[in-house]
Chains A and B, each alone.
Chain A
Amino acid sequence: MKELYFDNAATTLVDPRVKQEMDKYFSEEYGNPGSFNTVGLRALKVLDESRATVARCINANPNEVIFTGSGTESINLAIQGVAKAMKQKGKHIIISNIEHHAVLETCEYLRKDEGYDITILQPDQYGIISPQSVEKAIRPDTILISIMFANNEIGTINPIKQIGEIARKNRVYFHTDACQAGGACKLDVKQLNVDLLTLNGSKIYAPKGVGILYIRQGVMIKPIIYGGGQERNLRSGTENVPYIVGFAKAMELAEQEREKDNASISKLRDKLIKGVMESIPLSILNGHPTERLPNNVNITFLNIEGEALLLYMNEHGICASSGSACTSKTLDPSHVIIGIGRPYEVAHGSIRFSLGKLTTEEDIDVLLKVLPSLVQKLREISPVNLTLEQVTPQIEGEN
């Protein structure tokens, strides 16, 4: 049975070209960039080149790019690092309720243990944070705004440039978690008016275990990891040269192939959405109809529970993910689907299909062929008979 992988928002494969580029830096050029010898200096050169490549891709200066071990680590450094450096000015941070857990939990720690005040903004029904709501939340003691570029579950893309303008006008630092947008979206830090930006490797066809934090020159930030002073003293620990090389290569490829990939992937996305909406009644598209990542489809099949559908699909080799409580570690349903104002019933039945470079039209055809019967089977055994109007009164008639 062929496995159909619709979970690219969780992680992508490593592009073979990326892997090939990395290969040499495991057992041949394995030096420590911090060593003062020729082997080490060669590693330092590669590190510098990789940094320059990444910087070029996001229109930054090389010294504004810090390599880290993951998106989560970059987010922790951005938020905790700015919070520590800026606490004399104030202890107020603005985020949204549909941020990644890395943002939510870091801020919860700052609130609970360090006495920071966190304003949590609510998006509209599509998951968009309005720049006006950000502006309204700014106070004299606000030190940081952190709003994600694109949402990992529903794929909605935020007006980052406009939020950035507001942040800059009000002289508040602005961080964006762009992990899901990496590759798919052109990220020009100058144009976006961001002060800090997080990316990670595992979503852009680079390996897991590498990320970056862009820190605009002049931003006050303190380290959260102490040691040998690598990465401008902001991220101690020997640099992971092969992974950094892979990250840079993946960024480079994304720059070259973005338009081509986005065009083909978004075509498949639209075909999937249209196909599901036409063949499966009581389906609700979660997220924005147009302002969404080219690879994201998030649909609730009303009256069935997401985990059960996930398991049925898995038996057909279809790998997707769900906002159902039963698939989460905490047994809470998706905070994103709840966060955009959908009722719990909708969150429990939500399924995310995230497409990738390897997704083919045939994959979508197979999915569209199998899915209606699986949904029907679970609906037949379900005692729940909700209607669209009962769960989405504000967007009646969407289907």
Chain B
Amino acid sequence: MIPMQPVAHVEVKAKVDAKKTEQWFYTDVVKEHFFNPRNLFKSQQEVDSYKPDGVGQVGSPACGDMMKMWIKIKEDKIIECKWQTFGCGSAIASTSMLSVMVTEKEGMKIEDALKIKPQDIVKRLVDLPARKFHCSVLGDKALRAAVNDHFAKTNQHNRITIEGARIIDKVLKITDKDIEEAVLEGAQTFEDVQKKTKVGVKDKTCIPEVEQLIRFYKEKYFG
């Protein structure tokens, strides 16, 4: 087994402004977390012997990324946050950073952890290429799922937040989640979103609402 080289090994020539090039080049902080991910389960034995207070899983390998997260809670604070992923460099780095953010300084209050936005993670990572932004959302969603699991196990059902999908296009049954996903994948305009989702092709009445949602999600994630 050849050990992974630490980040000092990275040559400066690979340092390219991610925003300018739109390539997969990452900032040094992203690389550091990618090559040395924090709070990661490294084997099935570690997973099996762990006693979590909540477990969450989102995505699937078919979609290109899948994330599983285990948390321990003490006095309503997240004191441990473990994870595993089938995901790209951005997913690995941003989830590593998220796990650091929620557990540093003796743990973050659950309600504060749930307020973390993808932009907050990206800020700590210095930057992510815009088109890789959607990869960073997965860790965030896995954390919500794990927290909800904890609430369910501890009879705090009133605190569970379900992000229900709402049907926007009544013919093709396209939801606000589908539109959110399209915006995260880089769709900028109604035409982009329609290309990805086919929204509004049959049900023309939904178009104004779709346009409103695109503005909303663009503001939410990129504003």
Q: Which residues of A contact B (CB under 8 A)?
A: 1, 303-305, 307-308, 311-312, 315-316, 324-327, 329, 331, 333, 343-345, 348, 369-370, 373, 376-377, 380-384, 386
Contact = CB atoms under 8 A, between A and B. Distances in A.
A204 B37 CA distance: 41
B61 A326 contact: no
A326 B66 contact: no
A381 B37 contact: yes
B86 A303 contact: yes
Contacts of B134: 331
B35 A348 contact: no
Classify chain B: how many residues form its interface, as a range. Answer: 35 or more
B200 to A, nearest CB: 17
A326 B63 contact: no
B85 interface: yes
B88 A315 contact: no
B57 A333 contact: no
Given A315-B35, A382-B86, A373 B1 contact: yes
Interface in B18-50: 24, 34-35, 37, 40-43
A1 B90 CA distance: 25
A119 B178 CA distance: 30
B5 interface: yes
A383 B2 contact: no
28 contacts: A308-B92, A315-B4, A315-B5, A315-B35, A324-B64, A326-B24, A326-B135, A331-B185, A331-B186, A343-B62, A344-B61, A345-B61, A348-B62, A348-B64, A369-B2, A373-B1, A380-B42, A380-B43, A381-B37, A381-B40, A381-B41, A382-B85, A383-B66, A383-B67, A383-B86, A384-B66, A384-B86, A386-B61
Contacts of A315: 4-5, 9-10, 35
Nearest to A379: B86
A370 B84 CA distance: 23
Contact of A308 (B10, B43, B88): B88
Contact of B42 (A343, A370, A381): A381
Given A305-B87, A383-B84, 20 more contacts: A304-B86, A305-B65, A305-B86, A308-B88, A308-B92, A311-B24, A316-B2, A326-B24, A326-B132, A344-B61, A344-B62, A348-B62, A373-B2, A376-B1, A380-B42, A380-B43, A382-B84, A383-B68, A383-B85, A384-B66
A116 to B, nearest CB: 20
A1 B12 CA distance: 13
A315 B4 CA distance: 9
B166 interface: no
A377 B4 contact: yes
Contacts of A1: 11
A199 B15 CA distance: 35
A308 B89 contact: yes
Contacts of B92: 308, 381
Contacts of B41: 381
